[in-house]
């Protein structure tokens, strides 16, 4: 009863809200979204609208805005000398509630499947109860008589039990399978229904304006604001025709938005700028050293306290506040919350971009990609992919294997001066010789001058690592044990072209004075590089087509015989 009363009150409230919108005689104007600048997180949307105004004071409401706006970022421009005296933003929760024949069909199908699932669950319960009754009845029938059943009666009873239990079990198996199928279908239908509802049940943001017009005029409005309901991520398609040709890297973007609006035929710009969100640069406070003191807490434990903690928050700067400097430097980028990045006419544009409708601009703070074509991004959160640019990049290829860790041989591409490419961190789908070989990742935050890409494994370059018993030994010297280890690494190039090969292995390092590790240089193939601090040694050589090379690493470990170490 209480639930019914509550629902009645809610329905009445919604009805009154809808009626309030209906009774409002303020002139309503539809807005059209024209531009969207999407950041990694959030977006700035720009709408246009037109209204015929009378001379003097006018009240209008502009509909069709996102309900998810940052009100502090709202900017309104009016033409023909019209002054915006005041503005008020609100959300219409009723106007977007629509249905569709497709949604009705999906909801009917969902209801039918749910009803069928309920019937199956009932059958499963009934069959389980029947099975229990059958078992108990048979047990009672067999053990209920003092003399017991004769052979014929027992066989008839067992046969009946076998037939009925098999029938019930077969029914249960069929019902369980149908239940699993129905649950899978219901899950899919529920997802589709939710998606369709999101598409049709969209709330609308409304901007109510009080205007002052110098004369009767048709006024044009430009409304822009920041919303957090959007974002984009970069990713890449990397295509390698062969190791004799450059790499083709196609930069792409996945754009998604849940702003409550469908973006239809908008001018789309992608930006790497990050909205401020009220953050300020960190400031150092004075750092005082003092002796730690302890007090005994109520549960008998010691708690450390600092005697100068109360004065350690004294700021050490007075003049040049870096937060103020940074805020000032961002003034052109973040007025209020965020502003579109425009006007970089002198910024470089990549000339090898295969996509002529993409203009790339780069300044010291961000990169923007202006898509010079009308774009559609639905408001249901479904990702839309856009090609940004294509670049042919020279790379050096090599094969890499560390058989102590992994016996697979990997094809690597080394790209020098990669910072000039304006790459962003993101996943990369790799295709080699027309075949998809897997996924890698571009790490644009690395400080290395060379960008290394893992392009996949190569079965035609085999590496084998095996222990050499003739050079391995274990001996006791007084209170110490000395063990010698030796490993042979065999590399074979089964390709019909020469390759550059990087082979790595490792010997242990010691942090204790009673454990001594030495690399046996006489028994170890001379490495190209020996990093003693980590014990990693590297061999880099060219292998001809069909060539086999053998490498060896040997080291000794000396330690007390009463010590157990991990070798």
Among the candidates 182, 200, 218, a domain finishes at: 200
pLDDT at 6: 46
Q: Is the pLDDT of residue 214 over 80?
A: yes
Residue 434 banded pLDDT, cuts 50, 70, 90: confident
Average of per-residue pLDDT values in the chain = 81
Q: Are 399 and 461 in contact (CB under 8 A)?
A: yes
553 strand-pairing partners = 487
211-235 mean pLDDT: 95
386-414 mean pLDDT: 93
pTM of the prediction?
0.62
Percent of residues, the chain, with pLDDT higher than 70 = 79
pLDDT in tens, 521-542: 999 999 999 998 889 999 999 9
455 located within any domain = yes
174-180 mean pLDDT: 90
For tokens 């290394």, the residue is 452
12-26, 250-264, 412-426, 547-561, range with the lowest pLDDT: 12-26
153 located within any domain = yes
Among the candidates 173, 200, 227, a domain finishes at: 200
Q: Is the pLDDT of residue 300 over 70?
A: no
Q: Which residue has the higher pLDDT, 192 or 405?
A: 405
Q: Is the pLDDT of residue 240 over 80?
A: yes
pLDDT at 432: 86
pLDDT at 429: 93
224 located within any domain = no
* CA angle 433–437–443, rounded 5-degree value: 110
Q: Identify the DSSP state of 504.
A: E
Among the candidates 145, 170, 200, a domain finishes at: 200
Q: Are 26 and 58 in contact (CB under 8 A)?
A: no
21-28 mean pLDDT: 66
Which is it for strands 406-416 and 292-296: parallel, antiparallel or unpaired? unpaired
Q: Is the pLDDT of residue 315 over 80?
A: no
471-475 mean pLDDT: 88
Q: Is the pLDDT of residue 198 over 90?
A: no
Owning domain of residue 540: 394-567
50-59, 349-358, 491-500, range with the lowest pLDDT: 349-358
pLDDT in tens, 76-106: 999 999 999 999 999 877 655 556 788 788 8
475 located within any domain = yes
Q: Cα 113 from chain centroid?
A: 33
68 located within any domain = no
Alpha-carbon distance of 331 to 343, in angstroms, equals 15
Q: Is the pLDDT of residue 201 over 70?
A: no
563 located within any domain = yes
pLDDT at 342: 31
Q: In what order do the strands lie in the sheet with 367-377?
A: 70-78, 217-227, 43-53, 32-38, 263-271, 367-377, 358-362
506-518 mean pLDDT: 91
Q: Is the pLDDT of residue 292 over 70?
A: no
The conformational region for residue 36 under phi > 0 = left, psi -120 to 50 = alpha, else beta, is beta
21-39 mean pLDDT: 83
417-428 mean pLDDT: 88
pLDDT in tens, 317-333: 333 333 333 233 323 33
Q: Is the pLDDT of residue 238 over 60?
A: yes
Q: Which residue has the higher pLDDT, 228 or 8?
A: 228
Q: Is the pLDDT of residue 450 over 60?
A: yes
419-427 mean pLDDT: 88
| Widest pairwise Cα distance in the chain | 114
Residue 128 banded pLDDT, cuts 50, 70, 90: confident
Helices (H) and strands (E) in the chain, counts: 4, 29
pLDDT at 14: 47
Percent of residues, the chain, with pLDDT higher than 90 = 44
Q: Which residue has the higher pLDDT, 18 or 293?
A: 293
Residue 306 banded pLDDT, cuts 50, 70, 90: very low
Q: Which residue has the higher pLDDT, 158 or 353?
A: 158
Q: Which residue has the higher pLDDT, 1 or 242?
A: 242
pLDDT at 346: 31
Q: Which residue has the higher pLDDT, 72 or 337?
A: 72
174-188, 327-341, 472-486, 543-557, range with the lowest pLDDT: 327-341
pLDDT at 553: 96
Q: Is the pLDDT of residue 337 over 50?
A: no
pLDDT at 53: 95
pLDDT at 86: 93
173-185 mean pLDDT: 90
Q: Are 41 and 271 in contact (CB under 8 A)?
A: no
What total of structural domains would you count in the chain? 2
For tokens 């072209």, the residue is 497
Neighbours of 74 (CB within 10 A): 17
208-228 mean pLDDT: 95
Alpha-carbon distance of 253 to 273, in angstroms, equals 15
Alpha-carbon distance of 556 to 531, in angstroms, equals 17
275 located within any domain = no
Q: Is the pLDDT of residue 513 over 50?
A: yes
Q: Is the pLDDT of residue 351 over 50?
A: no
pLDDT at 438: 84
CATH code: domain of residue 194: 1.10.287
Q: Is the pLDDT of residue 179 over 80?
A: yes
424 located within any domain = yes
Beta strands (DSSP E) in 241-334 are 247-257, 263-271, 292-296, 302-306
Neighbours of 259 (CB within 10 A): 25
Neighbours of 10 (CB within 10 A): 10
Residue 25 banded pLDDT, cuts 50, 70, 90: low
């Amino acid at each position: 009863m209480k639930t019914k009363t509550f629902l009645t009150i809610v329905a009445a409230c919604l009805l009154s809200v809808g009626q309030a919108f209906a009774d409002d005689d303020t002139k309503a104007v539809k807005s059209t979204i024209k531009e969207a600048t999407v950041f990694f997180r959030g977006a700035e949307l720009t709408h246009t609208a037109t209204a015929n105004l009378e001379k003097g004071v006018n009240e209008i409401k502009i509909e069709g805005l996102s309900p998810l706006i940052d009100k502090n970022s709202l900017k309104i421009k009016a033409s023909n000398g019209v002054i915006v005296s005041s503005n008020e933003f609100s959300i219409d929760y009723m106007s977007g509630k629509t249905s569709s024949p497709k949604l009705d069909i999906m909801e009917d199908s969902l209801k039918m499947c749910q009803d069928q699932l309920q019937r199956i669950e009932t059958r499963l319960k009934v069959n389980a109860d029947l099975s229990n009754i059958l078992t108990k009845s048979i047990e009672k029938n067999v053990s209920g008589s003092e003399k017991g059943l004769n052979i014929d009666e027992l066989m008839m009873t067992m046969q009946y039990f076998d037939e009925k239990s098999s029938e019930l079990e077969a029914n249960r198996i069929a019902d369980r399978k149908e239940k699993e199928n129905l649950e899978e279908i219901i899950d899919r239908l529920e997802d589709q229904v939710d998606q369709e509802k999101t598409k049709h049940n969209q709330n609308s943001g409304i901007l109510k304006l009080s205007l002052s017009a110098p004369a009767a005029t048709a006024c044009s409005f430009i409304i822009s604001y920041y919303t957090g309901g959007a974002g984009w991520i970069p990713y890449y398609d990397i295509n390698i025709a062969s190791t004799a040709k450059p790499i083709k890297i196609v930069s792409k973007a996945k754009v998604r938005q849940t702003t409550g609006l469908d973006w239809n035929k908008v001018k789309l710009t992608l930006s790497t700028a990050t909205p401020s969100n009220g953050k300020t640069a960190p400031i150092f406070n004075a750092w005082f050293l003092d002796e730690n003191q302890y007090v005994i807490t109520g549960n008998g434990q010691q708690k450390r306290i600092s005697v100068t903690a109360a004065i350690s928050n004294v700021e050490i700067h007075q003049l040049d506040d870096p937060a103020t400097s940074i805020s000032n430097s961002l003034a052109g980028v973040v007025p209020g919350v965020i502003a579109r990045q425009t006007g970089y006419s002198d910024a470089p544009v990549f000339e090898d971009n295969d996509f002529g409708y993409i203009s790339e601009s780069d300044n010291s703070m961000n990169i923007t990609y202006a898509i010079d074509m009308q774009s559609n991004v639905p408001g249901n959160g479904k990702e839309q992919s856009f090609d940004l640019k294509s670049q042919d990049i020279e790379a050096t290829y090599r094969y890499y294997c560390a058989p102590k860790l992994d016996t697979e041989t990997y094809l690597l591409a080394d790209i020098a001066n990669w910072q000039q490419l304006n790459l962003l961190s993101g996943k990369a789908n790799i295709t080699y010789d027309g075949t998809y070989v897997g996924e890698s990742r571009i790490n644009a935050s690395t400080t290395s001058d060379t960008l290394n890409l893992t392009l996949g494994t190569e079965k035609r370059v085999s590496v084998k690592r095996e222990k050499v018993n003739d050079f391995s030994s274990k001996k006791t010297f007084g209170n110490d044990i000395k063990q010698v280890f030796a490993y042979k690494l065999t590399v074979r190039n089964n390709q019909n072209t020469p390759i550059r090969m990087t082979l790595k292995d490792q010997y242990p390092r010691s942090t204790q004075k009673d454990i001594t590790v030495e690399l046996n240089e006489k028994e170890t193939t001379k490495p190209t590089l020996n990093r003693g601090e980590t014990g990693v040694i590297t061999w880099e050589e060219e292998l001809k087509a069909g060539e086999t090379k053998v490498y060896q690493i040997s080291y000794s470990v000396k330690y007390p015989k009463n010590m157990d170490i991990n070798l």
